[in-house]
Amino acid sequence: MKTTIGEVKTGADHLAALKDGREVYIDGERVGDVTTHPAFRNTTQAVAALYDHQAQPDNIERMTFTPTKGGGYSRINRCWQFPKSHDELVTRRRAMSEWAEQSCGYLGRSPDHVASSLLGQVIGIDVLRRHGEARAQALLDYYDYVSRNDLYLSYVIINPQANRNKAWGEQEEDLVARIVDEDAQGITVRGAKMLGTGAIMANELLVANLQPLRPGEEDLAISFAMPMATSGLKLLSRKSYEAHAVSQRDNPLSARFDENDALVWFEDVKVPWERVFVYRDTDMCRAQFHDTLGHTFQNYQSQIRLTVKLRFLVGVARRLADTIGTSAIPSVAEVLGRLAAQAAMVEGMVVAMESAGHMQAGYYVPNKHWLC
């Protein structure tokens, strides 16, 4: 996946990797190059800017670390770092905060989100071992691969439900992604998953089930990962806010940070066994996120981003009040103070997650009870 020989992944590396022939559709047409298409070009540049930020000489030490294994970049983003102490957890958080600041907190599924979820799952790998050593080893090997190459992962963890009166396993045939065949090489998947936020500009896709499945829905009970350019994998984008933005001056956020949610359609996609993490086990689909620390770490990342976003919004509110000369009016000052207090509360909960953290499987992990 690495396109240049270098110490750390850059924006140019990421943009080059997106020119892989992936099947992306919007407004009924296939997109030739997501890095230049008017629906996606600015946001792909915003993602590339994250990697350029970490590659700046003054930022490398704060934003990246040296992995224990070679074979990829010599330094990778700290979102992949297993924290062994409170200090390392805080260092990791500061790097993620710095990334979030590049978009004022508006890239909700930046590359550190699914990376954090995967990290939590690996810390809880003994949960996957209950499902079988082969599936657990597949997840460990996958984490090793994507982390060493500093890849951007998106995920689809929700099943479409056209008929709300029916369970997912009772929906129309081929609506929900399921196993339709298998052999010695792997499984074949057909159907849809949602909602691939950021998938159009990611390197890889993690497929799983965050919501509980019922006994009898074993064909749906799968988790796996694949490159975005996998044959048969199709990304169907919603309307692009970026494409409809008048200008960056008029639409400074939507013109640059529209992550383009996408329905993902699997048209008889072959998934090799070494990329399959959960196989026909309805309870393990739940356990993958909730019995491991997958859910905790992905929402810890979300709360870190939320603190950045709230600080930005409070700053905008204060700047507006100052600009029109109302910040000294008691009622306005009261509202500004309440907004600042709420932002500080959310940030304080992040610090509480870290301060009240504990050791698990040899790593220092955040206290999930302070998630908001």
Mean pLDDT score, 126-134: 94
Assess whether pLDDT exceeds 80 at residue 224: yes
* Between residues 72 and 278, the one the model is more confident about: 278
pLDDT, one tens digit per residue, over 154-164 is 999 999 888 78
Can you give the pLDDT at residue 170?
A: 75
List phi, psi (to 5°) of 165: -85, -5
Can you give the pLDDT at residue 5?
A: 44
Mean pLDDT score, 50-78: 94
- Tokens 């984490």 correspond to 143
Strand pairing of 262-272 and 276-279?
unpaired
Mean of per-residue pLDDT scores for the chain: 94
pLDDT, one tens digit per residue, over 294-322 is 999 999 999 999 999 999 999 999 999 99
Can you give the pLDDT at residue 6?
A: 65
Mean pLDDT score, 168-190: 91
Residue 266: strand pairing partners: 191, 233
- Tokens 């050593």 correspond to 133
- Tokens 């599924």 correspond to 109
Supply the pTM of this predicted model.
0.93
Can you give the pLDDT at residue 248?
A: 87
pLDDT category of residue 173 using cuts at 50, 70 and 90? confident
Query: Are the beta carbons of 365 and 357 closer than 8 angstroms?
Result: yes
Assess whether pLDDT exceeds 70 at residue 360: yes
Q: Domains for the chain: give ranges and CATH numbers.
A: 11-295 (2.40.110.10)
Q: Which helix (H) or strand (E) covers residue 76, if one does?
A: strand 76-77
Assess whether pLDDT exceeds 50 at residue 1: no
Mean pLDDT score, 181-186: 97
Q: Tell me how far apart the alpha carbons of residues 296 and 351 are, in angstroms, rounded to a whole number.
A: 15
Q: Tell me how far apart the alpha carbons of residues 49 and 150 are, in angstroms, rounded to a whole number.
A: 14
Mean pLDDT score, 323-341: 96
Can you give the pLDDT at residue 82?
A: 98
Query: Are the beta carbons of 188 and 182 closer than 8 angstroms?
Result: yes
Q: Tell me how far apart the alpha carbons of residues 39 and 242 are, in angstroms, rounded to a whole number.
A: 6
Percent of the chain scoring above 70 in pLDDT: 98
pLDDT category of residue 168 using cuts at 50, 70 and 90? confident
Percent of the chain scoring above 90 in pLDDT: 89
Q: Under DSSP, is residue 166 helix (H, G, I), strand (E, B) or coil? A: coil
Can you give the pLDDT at residue 3?
A: 40
Can you give the pLDDT at residue 242?
A: 92
Mean pLDDT score, 201-211: 95
Name the DSSP letter for residue 131: T
Mean pLDDT score, 75-87: 98
Please provide the size of the chain in residues.
372
Mean pLDDT score, 280-294: 95
Can you give the pLDDT at residue 4?
A: 42
Query: Are the beta carbons of 109 and 198 closer than 8 angstroms?
Result: yes
pLDDT, one tens digit per residue, over 89-127 is 999 999 999 999 999 999 999 999 999 999 999 999 999
pLDDT, one tens digit per residue, over 12-57 is 999 999 999 999 999 999 999 999 999 999 999 999 999 999 999 9
Please report, for residues 30, 34, 230, the alpha-carbon distance to residue 43 in angstroms, rounded to integers and kept in the order given: 18, 10, 22
List phi, psi (to 5°) of 155: -145, 155
